Amino acid sequence: MGWLRVGVVINTATAMLFIRGRDHDLNLRGAYLHMAADALLSLGVAIAGAVILWTDWAWVDPLTSLIIAVVILLATWSLLGESIQMAMQAVPANIQPQEVESYLAGLPGVTQVHDLHIWAMSTTEVALTAHLVRPQHTNDDELLRSIGECLHERFHIDHTTLQIERNLMDADCGQWEEGTL
């Protein structure tokens, strides 16, 4: 029983190391859940062992295992979903593409936004690409700097690639018809 207590303490302490970053980083949340599950497993084994030792109720062992398995499954289900979304390069759940598009469309001189793409590059980095139609304006460097700052502050998007187009005819972006080059 002494070793089980040591396991509970070590796994709990290790889980606490990851607790602060678990809300912002998928990898840290996975590590936190892994350590918390190990601590729960050690605690469950200790409790089940004590109950069996005192009562001879052997059924407590598989029941404890099932309870721990269900708790781990429930705790990691959202982690699995977020991992799949990242692998599929989906828009991160905390970003509303309509809000980003509205922000970009409301910029001075912008008449149209198209080909907007937002995806997670990693567990902590989000990327954006878009085309902005902005006829008759030339101070693009200042605008691009300002957009980058705002996307970072408002939407936590740090990697932006924006293409400025001068007229609506460019809005086609070179989309080719089938059978042409």
pLDDT (tens digit, 9 = 90+) per residue, 57-79?
999 999 999 998 998 898 888 88
Q: Are residues 6 and 82 in the same domain?
A: yes
Q: Are residues 163 and 140 in the same domain?
A: yes
Long-range contacts of 15-19 (CB under 8 A, 24+ apart): 15/39
Reading phi first (left if > 0) and then psi (alpha if -120 to 50, else beta), residue 56 is in left
Phi, psi torsion values for 177, nearest 5 degrees: -75, 155
Amino acid (1-letter code) at residue 64: T
Q: Are residues 82 and 115 in the same domain?
A: no
pLDDT band (50, 70, 90) for residue 160: very high
Give exposure, 135-157, as e/b (b: 16+ Cβ within 10 Å): eeeeeeeebeeebbeebeeebeb
Q: Which residue has the tokens 């050690």?
A: 42
Q: Specify the pLDDT at position 124.
A: 83
Q: Specify the pLDDT at position 4.
A: 67
Average pLDDT over residues 86-103: 92
Least confident of 2-6, 9-13, 130-134, 174-178: 174-178
CA distances from 116 to 120, 126, 130, 160 (A): 14, 13, 4, 11
Least confident of 78-82, 124-128, 166-170: 166-170
Q: Are residues 110 and 152 in the same domain?
A: yes
**Domain presence at residue 61:** yes
* Averaged pLDDT score across all residues of the chain: 85
Q: Which among 87, 107, 123 is the end of a domain? A: 87
Better-scored residue on pLDDT, 177 or 91: 91
Domain that holds residue 61: 2-87
Long-range contacts of 74-82 (CB under 8 A, 24+ apart): 75/33, 75/36, 75/37, 76/30, 76/33, 76/37, 79/26, 79/29, 79/30, 79/33, 82/26
pLDDT band (50, 70, 90) for residue 169: low
Number of separate domains in the chain: 2
